[in-house]
Amino acid sequence: MRALVRPAQYLALALYILFLGFPLLWLISASVKSSGELNSLTVSLLPEQWHWQNYSEALDRQGLVRSAGNSLGVALASTALVILIALPASYVLARLKGKVRLAGIGWILVSQVFPVVLIILPLFLILRTLGLTDSLVGLTLVHTTYMLPFALWMLQGYVAAIPVELEEAGAMDGATRLRVLRTIVFPLLAPGVVATAMFSFVSSWNEFFFALVLLQSPENYTLPITLNMFIGGEGKVSLGPLAAGAVLAAIPSIVFFTLLRRRLTGGLMAGAVKG
C-alpha cells in the first residue's frame, strides 16, 4: 500500500503538468503547422513539416506590427509613470505610521476589489470630456492608475525591508532627507524597482478591457485588441498566422514572469495573507 504512494503522486503530477502545459504546447505546435495540416482531420502534436512562414505571415499583417508598437509604447510610458509616481509615495507609505498609511493601504485593498466595469463608465465620460478616448495617451493614463495600487504595494514592501538605521545614520551625518533618499534608499531599492517595473510592463502589455472600451480606430489598437479582431471579424481566419501572432504576444510576458518568479511569489503572498 505504502509503496504505491509515490507512483500515484507522480501520476497525479503528470496529469497536472499535462493540464497546465498541453494548451501552450498545442498553440506552439499550431503556429508551425501549414494551413492544410491545421484543417485536416488527422490531429497530431508534432507538425508533419515545420512551417515557419506563419511567423513571417503574422508579421506581414499590417495591424499586428503597428499594434505591437502601440502596446510597447503604452506599456513603457505607463510603467515609467507608475514608477515615478509610486516610488516616493511607497516610501511614505512604508515609513510613516498613522492615518496616511492606513488610508493608503485601505485604498490599495479597495481598488483590488472594486469592479472595473463600474469605474469604466465615468472614466470613459471623463476621458471623452478631455478628448482622450480613442487615444494612446488616454490609455496610458488609465493603465497608470490601474497599475498604481499593486506597484505601491510591491514597492512599500521593499522599502519596509530596508533597515531604518541606515537612514538614521545618514541623517546623523547631516544629510537632508532628500539626500538620504537619493544616496541610501533608492540604490537599495533598485531590485524592487526593476521587479515592479517588469510587473507593470506585463500588466499593461496584457491588458484588454480598457483598451477594448477606449480604442476605436484600428491604427490605435493595442496587440490584444488586434488579435481579438483576427478571431472575430475578418471572415475566415488563417489559424497558423493567428497562433504565431499569439505566441509572439505571449513571449515578453512569459520571459518576464519567469525572471520575476521568486519576487512575485513573495509580494503576492504578503498581499494575499495580509489582505
Residues 231-260 binding other proteins (CB under 8 A) are 231-232, 239, 242-243, 246-247, 249-250, 253-254, 256-258
**Is residue 23 at the binding interface for other proteins, with CB under 8 A as the rule?**
yes
What CA–CA distance (Å, rounded) separates 38 from 232? Answer: 18
**Is residue 19 at the binding interface for other proteins, with CB under 8 A as the rule?**
yes
Among positions 75, 180, 213, 215, the unique one binding other proteins when judged by CB under 8 A: 213
Record the cell numbers describing residue 151, joined without a space: 506597484
Record the cell numbers describing residue 146, joined without a space: 490601474
Among positions 50, 60, 62, 107, the unique one binding other proteins when judged by CB under 8 A: 107
What CA–CA distance (Å, rounded) separates 239 from 158? Answer: 44
Which is nearest to 186 in space by CA: 96, 90, 108, 256? 90
Residue matched to cell numbers 513571417? 56
**Is residue 223 at the binding interface for other proteins, with CB under 8 A as the rule?**
yes
Record the cell numbers describing residue 78, joined without a space: 505607463
CB closer to other proteins, 120 vs 188: 120
Q: Cβ 257 to other proteins, closest distance in Å?
A: 4
Q: Could you tell me which stretch among 56-64, 157-165, 187-195, 228-236 binds other proteins (CB under 8 A)?
A: 228-236
CB closer to other proteins, 188 vs 250: 250
Q: Could you tell me which stretch among 49-57, 92-100, 156-164, 182-190 binds other proteins (CB under 8 A)?
A: 92-100
Q: Which residues contact 166 (CB under 8 A, 6 or more apart)?
A: 184, 188
**Is residue 227 at the binding interface for other proteins, with CB under 8 A as the rule?**
yes
**Is residue 30 at the binding interface for other proteins, with CB under 8 A as the rule?**
yes
Record the cell numbers describing residue 217, joined without a space: 480606430
**Is residue 12 at the binding interface for other proteins, with CB under 8 A as the rule?**
yes
**Is residue 115 at the binding interface for other proteins, with CB under 8 A as the rule?**
yes
Q: Per CB under 8 A, which of residues 167..196 are in contact with other proteins?
A: 177
Torsion sign (Cα): 138, 217, 245, 14: positive
Among positions 94, 139, 141, 159, the unique one binding other proteins when judged by CB under 8 A: 141
- Where is 76: in which H helix or E strand? helix 62-95
Q: Per CB under 8 A, which of residues 58..87 are in contact with other proteins?
A: 84-86
Q: Which residues contact 82 (CB under 8 A, 6 or more apart)?
A: 144, 147, 148, 151, 196, 197, 200
